[in-house]
A and B are shown apart, each in its own frame.
Chain A
Amino acid sequence: MNKIVKYKLNGKDVEAPEGRLVIEAAKDQGIEIPHYCYHPALGNPGNCRMCIVEVAGAPKPQVSCRTGVREGLEVKTDSDAVKRAQASALELHLVNHPLDCPVCDQSGECGLQDYYMKIGQYSSSVREDKEHKGKRIEAGPHVMLDQERCVLCTRCTRFVDNVTKTHELGIFGMGHNERVEVTPGMTLDNAYSGNVVDICPVGALTDRDFRYKVRVWYLDKTDSICPGCSRGCNISVHANTQRPWHNDGKRVARLKPRVNMDINGHWICDDGRYGFSSLDSDRLGKVLRLSPERAELSWFDAAHEVAAKLKDSSIAVVASGMLSNEDWAAYKALFVDALKVQGHYFTAEPDQLGEEDALLRRKEKVPNLKGAEALGLKSGSFDELKKNLEAGKVKTLYVIERDLTKIWGDKAAGLLAKADMTILQGPNKYALGDSFTYRLPATAYVEEEGHFTNFEGKVQAYKKALAPIGHARPDWDIFALLKKAVIQPAAKVAA
Chain B
Amino acid sequence: MTPAAALAVKNAFTPEQEKALVAWTKKYPYTNLGLIEALRSVQDWHRQMTPAAAARVAEIFNLPFSHVWGVATFFPTYTHWKTGEKRVGICRGLTCYLAGSDKMEKCLEKTLGVPKKKATADGKFSWEPMECLGACEQGPALQVNDRLVGKATEESILKLKDMK
Chain A interfacial positions (CB closer than 8 Å to B):
157, 160-161, 167-174, 183-187
Tell whether B74 is near chain A: CB-to-CB under 8 Å: yes
Known: A173-B74, A184-B51. 8 other contacts (CB 8 A): A157-B66, A167-B66, A170-B69, A174-B73, A184-B55, A185-B55, A186-B1, A187-B1
Q: Tally inter-chain residue pairs, CB-CB below 8 A.
A: 53
A173 x B73 contact (CB < 8 A): yes
A167 to B70, CA, bound (A): 11
Q: Quick one: which of B7-55 are within 8 Å of A by CB?
A: 7, 51, 55
How many Å from the CB of B67 to the closest CB on chain A?
A: 7
Known: A174-B75, A186-B1. A167 touches B64 (CB 8 A): yes
Tell whether B3 is near chain A: CB-to-CB under 8 Å: yes
How many Å from the CB of B98 to the closest CB on chain A?
A: 24
Residues of B near A186 (CB, < 8 A) are: 1-3, 6, 65-66
Residues of B near A169 (CB, < 8 A) are: 66
Kindly identify which residue among B1, B3, B64, B69 contacts A172, using a CB–CB cutoff of 8 Å: B69
Residues of B near A185 (CB, < 8 A) are: 1-7, 51, 55, 65
A403 to B59, CA, bound (A): 45
Q: Quick one: which of B39-95 are within 8 Å of A by CB?
A: 51, 55, 64-67, 69-70, 73-76
A183 x B74 contact (CB < 8 A): no
Residues of B near A187 (CB, < 8 A) are: 1
B70 x A171 contact (CB < 8 A): yes
Contact digits for B119-146, partner A, Cβ 8 Å, 1 yes 0 no: 0000000000000000000000000000
How many Å from the CB of B128 to the closest CB on chain A?
A: 15
A217 to B51, CA, bound (A): 42
Known: A161-B64, A161-B66, A167-B66. A183 touches B73 (CB 8 A): no
A173 to B79, CA, bound (A): 11
A17 to B45, CA, bound (A): 55
Return 11 A-B CB contacts under 8 Å, by A number. A160-B66, A167-B64, A167-B65, A170-B67, A172-B73, A183-B3, A185-B1, A185-B65, A186-B6, A186-B65, A187-B1
Q: Which of B2, B55, B70 lies at the interface centre, i.e. has the most chain A CB atoms within 10 A of its CB?
A: B70
How many Å from the CB of B130 to the closest CB on chain A?
A: 14
A185 to B1, CA, bound (A): 8
Residues of A near B75 (CB, < 8 A) are: 174
Closest chain B residue to A179 by CB distance? B73
A210 to B4, CA, bound (A): 32
How many Å from the CB of B68 to the closest CB on chain A?
A: 10
Residues of A near B55 (CB, < 8 A) are: 184-185
A171 to B55, CA, bound (A): 16
Known: A168-B66, A183-B65, A185-B51. A174 touches B76 (CB 8 A): yes
How many Å from the CB of B65 to the closest CB on chain A?
A: 6
Residues of A near B1 (CB, < 8 A) are: 185-187
A169 to B64, CA, bound (A): 11
A173 to B66, CA, bound (A): 12
Shortest 9 CB-CB contacts between residues of A and residues of B: A185-B3, A185-B6, A170-B66, A184-B51, A167-B64, A167-B66, A172-B73, A183-B66, A174-B74
Residues of B near A174 (CB, < 8 A) are: 73-76
Closest chain A residue to B7 by CB distance? A185
Residues of B near A168 (CB, < 8 A) are: 66
Closest chain B residue to A165 by CB distance? B64
Residues of A near B69 (CB, < 8 A) are: 170, 172, 183-184
Residues of A near B74 (CB, < 8 A) are: 172-174
A174 to B75, CA, bound (A): 7
A491 to B3, CA, bound (A): 69
A187 to B3, CA, bound (A): 9
How many Å from the CB of B11 to the closest CB on chain A?
A: 15
A184 to B49, CA, bound (A): 13
A170 to B70, CA, bound (A): 7
A185 to B66, CA, bound (A): 10
A174 to B79, CA, bound (A): 12
